[in-house]
């Protein structure tokens, strides 16, 4: 039992953490299974995006399995060079979407923060509870909150370990969209499938440019973007997209 269910829906890989008895916390086996599934999806040309979610409506992921940690030591869910669950420090080229069906706590919140979109059920909560266990969220949680949230909001989450609700984090721009629990996966799939109707190459390049631009000054980011101009404007997908618009039909992208 790896604690992970892998499904494929067209060009979407759906990775479901399946350890509801442990609030979907990741033990070493589940963490490495998630890492392997992410690697397979990244290298599969037929996959355009990945959705990560979990079983049930109680928890998305409660971080590392504390019972396993008590026996074998903390940090068993960390994968070298790719972080917790093989996600939080992973370099990737394809969109990663979180469908947060319940509490995203500690490493679970770090996984969600590493995603490009976060869809959350209206009862979902997010928290970095590591300080309550003599730890701190070094696997991406603190670093990403420092970039995404005001200090007055981020530091109380980090230093008290108390969670915030999905609606609050949506208002702060951290969560993409909040839905009813029954609409969470349908809405996540709807948006992901809509995205994948566009040019795969354009999606990959836009994602890469966005992420690179966050670490650059404005002028350097514009200069970096210019490196995409010739390849983009002269690509087969660009020609198809322009022709489809002119002819009033849906584009058929092949890249």
7 in active site:
no
Structure-token pair, residue 52: 């990560």
The catalytic position among 40, 110, 148, 193 is 110
Decide if 107 contacts 142 (C-beta within 8 A).
no
130 in active site:
yes
DSSP the chain: --SEEEEEETTEEEEEE--GGGTT-B-HHHHHHHHHHHHHHHH-TT--EEEEEESSSSEEE-SB-HHHHHHH-TTTTEETTTEETTTTT---SS-EEEEE-SEEETHHHHHHHTSSEEEEETT-EEE--GGGGT---TTTHHHHHHHHS-HHHHHHHHHH---EEHHHHHHTTSSSEEE-GGGHHHHHHHHHHHHTTS-HHHHHHHHHHHHHHTTS-HHHHHHHHHTTHHHHHTSHHHHHHHHHHHHTS------
The catalytic position among 40, 42, 130, 148 is 130
Angle, CA of 162, 167 and 169, to the nearest 5°: 60
Q: Which residues are catalytic?
A: 110, 130
């Amino acid at each position: 039992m790896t604690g992970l269910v892998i499904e494929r829906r067209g060009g979407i890989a759906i990775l479901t953490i399946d350890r509801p008895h442990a609030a979907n916390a990741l033990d070493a086996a589940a963490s490495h299974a998630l890492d392997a599934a992410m690697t397979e999806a990244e290298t599969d040309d037929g996959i355009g995006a990945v959705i990560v979610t979990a079983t049930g409506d109680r928890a998305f992921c409660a971080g590392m399995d504390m019972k396993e940690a008590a026996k074998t030591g903390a940090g068993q869910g960390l994968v070298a060079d790719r972080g917790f669950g093989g996600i939080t420090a992973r370099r990737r080229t394809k969109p990663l979407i979180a469908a947060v069906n319940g509490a995203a706590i500690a490493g679970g919140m770090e996984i969600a923060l590493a995603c490009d979109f976060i869809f959350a059920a209206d009862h979902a909560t997010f928290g970095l509870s590591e300080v309550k266990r003599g730890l701190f969220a070094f696997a991406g949680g603190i670093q990403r909150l420092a970039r995404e949230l005001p200090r007055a909001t981020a530091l109380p989450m980090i230093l008290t370990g108390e969670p915030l609700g999905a609606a609050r984090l949506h208002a702060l721009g951290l969560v993409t969209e909040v839905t009813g629990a029954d609409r969470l996966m349908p809405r996540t799939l709807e948006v992901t499938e809509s995205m994948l109707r566009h040019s795969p190459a354009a999606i990959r390049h836009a994602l890469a440019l966005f992420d690179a631009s966050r670490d650059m000054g404005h002028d350097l980011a514009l200069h970096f973007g210019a490196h995409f101009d010739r390849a983009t404007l002269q690509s087969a997908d660009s020609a198809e997209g322009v022709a489809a618009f002119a002819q009033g039909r849906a584009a058929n992208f092949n890249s």
